[in-house]
Each structure stands twice: as C-alpha cells, then as structure tokens.
Amino acid sequence: MATNPFGTTITSEDILDTLGFFDSWEDRYKYIIDLGKELPAMDDAKKDDVHLVRGCQSQVWIDARRDGDRLWFESDSDAFIVKGLLGVVLAAYNGKTPGEVLAFDVENYFRQLDLLKHLSPTRGNGLRAMVSRIRTMAEEAGTVH
C-alpha cells in the first residue's frame, strides 16, 4: 500500500496548506477533484455491498487492512468530487493506528478546511458517512490483536 500517497506524502496538513493558497472555491474544488485522481485504483471485486458506504449520494466503497499497528484504507467512488473528498479524508486517517484514527478531531479539520458549508447537504452527509465507516473500522481493528 506504499503506492497510496494519502497519509504519507499527502497529509491533512498539506491539504490545509494548499487549500489556503486558493482564493476562490472554484479553484479549491478543482484541487479536491485533482486529489481524487491521486487515489490508487480499488479492486473491482471490493466494489460490493460489503464495502459500500450507506448514506452517500454517490456510490462509495471503503476497505481497510491492518499492517502491524497501522490501518491503511482503500476507497473509490463513481463521482470525481467524492473521490477528492475521499482523498481529503484519507490524508487524515491513512497509516494511523486505530487509536489515532479515533482521536483525530475530524470536525476541527473540516472547520479548518471550511468545507461543509460549500458542499450540498447530501454531500456533507455523505462525507460524514465516510468518516463514520472509517471510525467503525478503526474501532473494530482496535479490538482485534
């Protein structure tokens, strides 16, 4: 999973810094869509009901695997902007321990990004559903040793 830049070469701090350079939300959206193009391809076999995130307007799939004490997430969507939002989320969570995932203040991260007020309510709900799925996976991984 070293080919996944999110959480390694693209961190939540990087995204915050880069978004700060853009004056318009149109430019920020373009950057977020470009982030989605960095997502590694997800195996089509994992694009099933088991990995499907409920509550998203678009189709979103997330899987997790544990490597030592770290979690690595694999994800995909059928919508370009949602792929970018997955990148924003994975930058914060990929390569972290289950405890770090659960301790991360995602609401503050979203506040700093100024993101939720620029998304439709259904996209915002979908973003929260993605985070909820990742947190559930971290809780489950934290109980398995």
Residues classed as catalytic: 56
109 backbone dihedrals φ, ψ, rounded to 5°: -60, -50
> How far apart (Å, rounded) are the C-alpha atoms in residues 34 and 96?
23
> How far apart (Å, rounded) are the C-alpha atoms in residues 144 and 71?
12
- Over its C-alpha atoms, the chain yields an Rg (Å, rounded) of 14
| Vertex 114: Cα angle to 35 and 117 (nearest 5) | 105
Question: Do strands 60-67 and 70-77 pair parallel, antiparallel, or not at all (unpaired)?
Answer: antiparallel
